[in-house]
Structure formats: structure tokens, C-alpha cells
Structure 1
């Protein structure tokens, strides 16, 4: 049994919740839009906090933090090597994955 002491007290961005709804994504248990019971989102949140928020601060203002977040996302997607993807950055691994999928041909309208 997993206990989450932070359930219900974590900040939930309105945009995050809206994007879940727009994508017709199913929220996990607890509050709608809460990523803390979703293993992938939880792992990413932990990495984000460890690699950027805790290790690169303190922040002098929201503008500095916003720039740092944008830079982190660029680094994470294009340069960070991941063991689960054969030590490739996510963008490269995703490109390889989609290149191996069969091509879906659109049916012509009659």
C-alpha cells in the first residue's frame, strides 16, 4: 500500500488540468489533474525538482525561473541521455520509434 502524505496539498496548475481535459486524458485517483499517482509524471516531477529547482536555485524572480524552465526542457528533450532509450535523448528516441511504425494510409473519399 502506498501512502501519499502530499495528496491534496500540492499545487495543481489550472492549465495542466485544462490540458488533461482537452486531451481527454483520464486523471488518476484523487483530485482531477493530480499527477502524483501517475508513475511517469511523478518520475518526471522528481527529476525536474532534483535537476533544476533544488540544484540550480535560488531564484531571484519568476522571470529567471521561467527562463531556466524553458532551458531545462530544451536540454531534457534534446541533449539529456536516457538509459531506457539506449542513451539517446527523448527527441531522437521518439523519432526512431515513429519511423518504425507502419505508415497509415488515408482512405480516399469516393
Structure 2
């Protein structure tokens, strides 16, 4: 997962050629850390189909506000520059994949 900052968020995320998932996290957040290996595995499976980014809420206050993130971890799905869904809280792989299917229809095909 490529890390984004407030200065790169709009350019990298909103103009991506593939659907995007942004994981908003914090260094002190244990559920955020626990989700990282799961998201990295999903990222590998969906390579070339979905682009994954991560954003530390303490270093990305503008992006956090732009995407209306109120707690961490939060996953934000974006397709064609439009936010399609937000998922808050840690979740197992199968739950994240189900959410992806609803948030980004056809992205896993």
C-alpha cells in the first residue's frame, strides 16, 4: 500500500485509472495494525484491478476531513473519482471482500 499525504491525496486517489481503496489509520491504533496483513493479501490478489493506499489521520487532516473519516480504521472505496462506500472498524478478509463487491461492483472480476 502506497502511503498518501494531504498533498498527494487528490492527485493519486481521485485520478487513479483503477478503483481505489484508501485505509485511514493511526500509528497508535491496534485494529489498524491488525488489518494491514489482510489488506496486503487482498491487494496482491487484486493487483492491477484495485489500487490500495493508506493514510495516517494524524498526517493527513485534510484528506481525513475530505473523506469524512470519523474513526480508524476506515476503508474508503473510490471509483472514477467518486466515493462509493466507507467501512469502519477492523474486519476479517471475507468481510472486506464482501464489502468490496458491494462498494466496487465488478472490480474483482
Give the structure with higher Rg (CA).
1
Higher relative contact order (CA 8 A, sep 6+): 2
TM-score for both structures, normalised by structure 2: 0.25
